[in-house]
Amino acid sequence: MSTPAVATSDKFEIGGRAFTSRLIIGTGKYRTFEEMKAAHRASGAEMVTVAVRRVPLDRSSESFLDHLDPSLAILPNTAGCYTAEEAIRTARLAREALGTDLIKLEVIGDQTTLFPDNEQTLEAARVLAREGFVVLPYFTDDLIMAKKLLDAGCPAVMPLAAPIGSGMGVQNPANLRIMRELGMRSLLCMPIEGRSGSLHYRTRGVHDLQSHGSQADCWRALPVLW
């Protein structure tokens, strides 16, 4: 039986809701629904990501949506979208079906690396923010793009820390550190999954950030578990 993790007492807020856990956990790649639920309990996470395009939102068939702990906040994402138009349409569908204004905005620019298309992401972010979404955009760690996304109305940005599946850990701590020093609220995208290498690289990346500031400041960068 899994043992729930103990959450930190330091809180942060997204979209008007306060969280104590600094981890966002995913719903993909589990072998069974029971395994997913056990992982969620053990993580202590309070928010879970949902790939909107990969689940039957009409509940026409059984999916992980039927097995989520109702206490978890759902963070829909637009994974699989390659244009701003696709992402906007997917976000609207998610809000209608899941009853949340939260959206992890992903607009992919390259099918092989899954690197984001920053320009299309910014275009979609502007539209969705105007429509009242709480937009958390996934983008490469470009400082100017981070500023533009925040100016567009995003409450925080989600810079990619390393190529997906690389197991390389944080590749550009300097940019992430500058974002923090400039007061940019960032949630650090550090994918953890079977093909991504050992957890050592993820924790090492967080340690690298900690070594350049206080622990409280470091955890403004949020590891994301996909």
- Of 83-97, 119-133, 149-163, 171-185, least confident by mean pLDDT is 171-185
The greatest distance separating any two alpha carbons of the chain, rounded to the nearest whole angstrom, comes to 49
Angstrom CA distances, 81 to 36, 103, 192, stand at 25, 13, 21
Mean pLDDT of all residues in 22-29:
84
Q: Each residue of 134-147: pLDDT tens digit?
A: 999 999 989 999 99
- What is d(CA 77, CA 107) in angstroms, rounded to the nearest whole number? 10
pTM (two decimals): 0.81
Placement of tokens 């995208």 in the chain: 189
Q: Which residue has the higher pLDDT, 99 or 199?
A: 99
Given 3.20.20.20, 3.20.20.70, 3.40.50.720, 3.40.50.11540, which CATH number is that of 12-53+62-209? 3.20.20.70
Q: Each residue of 177-206: pLDDT tens digit?
A: 888 888 787 776 655 443 334 444 444 444
- What is d(CA 226, CA 224) in angstroms, rounded to the nearest whole number? 6
Active-site residue list: 104
- What is d(CA 122, CA 118) in angstroms, rounded to the nearest whole number? 6
Contact 115, 108 (CB under 8 A): yes
Query: Could you tell me the pLDDT band of residue 163, with boundaries at 50, 70 and 90?
Result: confident
Mean pLDDT of all residues in 90-119:
95
- What is d(CA 87, CA 92) in angstroms, rounded to the nearest whole number? 9
- Listed by start position, the domains of the chain span 12-53+62-209
Nearest to 75 by CA among 99, 47, 37: 47
Buried b (16+ CB within 10 A) or exposed e, 133-163: bbbbbbbbbeeebbebbbebebbbbbbbbbe
Nearest to 73 by CA among 35, 16, 116, 112: 16
The confidence score (pLDDT) of residue 148 equals 96
